[in-house]
Amino acid sequence: MDRLDNTVRPYAWGSTTAIPELLGTKPTGEPQAEMWMGAHPGAPSRTGRGTLAEVIDADPERELGPLAVAKFGPRLPFLLKLLAAGAPLSLQVHPDLRQAQEGYEDEERRGVPVDAPHRNYKDANHKPELICALTEFDGLCGFRSPDEAAGLLDGLGVASLKPYVDLLHAHPEEAALREVLTAILAADPEEMSHTVTEATAACTRLGGAYAPYADIAHHYPGDPGVIAAMLLNHVRLQPGEALFLGAGVPHAYLNGLGVEIMANSDNVLRCGLTPKHVDIPELLRIVRFEAGDPGVLRPEASPDGEEVYETPTDEFRLSRYVLPAGGASHDLTLPLPQILLCTAGTVRAGEHELAPGRSVFVPAGETAEVSGAGTVFRATVRL
């Protein structure tokens, strides 16, 4: 197995302290948002044999195993991350596989440069993802019911929000949510900025259920995404709890440290809380206007000590082992590729000793025995 040397991405929303604290390193004062573990071309992990992308490209069947190559092709189909949000990320959705393929082919046909700021589809893949909290973790996930969203907006006492409240009450669920999100994103920017300013003052004054939106507005003053965010469920995960984000589900991470795993894609359509491009017609084609419980996941324990976060996605499977001091070792050998990440204590993986934030890549079929006292996350694929 290969010890991984991973890149930390300095996105502006990142925490300046969370990843350094986990790694036991000194903060630089700059945001450290994500640490990537995998073979994504944007920042592939480094090994003693070259980058992980180079290692896999040299012999996909040996590294990934024939079963994974037959199903996903000669590439690692997932990307594992440490994600540390110190400020809200953009409000966003991801396409399903068919939508991603159609969108990518359309933009390729029209000659839109892949690095153009208005490009929606960087690749032809979908991007389901799972976030598992390591600390208390705040996020937004999926729509509230129209009645609940109307009550939250109405409670602010802002006159310019009244048309949205009326729309939420006047239509069936899907039509109500679609019409209100469309109206928010298409509103006159100057008028919306005034509305957001009034709403922010009310959120700050009222606190309680409104406190998360006051914080969002602090980071994105005047952004229509502040109002759009109030249509969504606010979720606070406790350590060990997780959220699965499927296609078309609007979401945003607000604050906290977690382990994230996703299909290897960069396809994001933004709804707000961002200075980046917002393609309203394409966004409305992708969003699923369905209200519901965000569905907090808790791991399901198996007799061998593996705790699995069950999702409907084949490109990744995330689980963890919480190893007690003096406990037995666990044989994690699989005919599939794996990344093992330590998040607490000290874990031995093969010949490698892993402190928090350290990881290894295990080629398919390679012996993978773990022991020690700590927590190790296991990322692989599902067949």
What percent of the chain has pLDDT above 70?
100
Rounded Cα gap, residues 365 and 62, in angstroms: 9
Show pLDDT as tens, one digit a residue, over the chain (383 residues): 999 999 999 999 999 999 999 999 999 999 999 999 999 988 999 999 999 999 999 999 999 999 999 999 999 999 999 999 999 999 999 999 999 999 999 999 999 998 899 999 999 999 999 999 999 999 999 999 999 999 999 999 999 999 999 999 999 999 999 999 999 999 999 999 999 999 999 999 999 999 999 999 999 999 999 999 999 999 999 999 999 999 999 999 999 999 999 998 889 999 999 888 899 999 999 999 999 999 999 999 999 899 999 999 999 999 999 999 888 899 999 999 999 999 999 999 999 999 999 999 999 999 999 999 999 999 999 98
One-letter-per-residue 3-state SS of 169-189:
HHCCHHHHHHHHHHHHHHCCH
Tell me the pLDDT tens digit for each residue of 85-136: 999 999 999 999 999 999 999 999 999 998 899 999 999 999 999 999 999 9
Active site positions, annotated: 270
Instruction: Name the DSSP class of 88.
Output: P
Q: For position 275, what pLDDT does the model report?
A: 87
Which residues are CB-contacts of 188 (< 8 A; sequence separation ≥ 6)? none
Tell me the pLDDT tens digit for each residue of 276-322: 889 999 999 999 999 999 999 999 999 989 999 999 999 999 999 99
| pTM for the full predicted model | 0.94
Rounded Cα gap, residues 145 and 151, in angstroms: 10
Q: For position 42, what pLDDT does the model report?
A: 87
Rounded Cα gap, residues 184 and 227, in angstroms: 7
Q: For position 266, what pLDDT does the model report?
A: 87
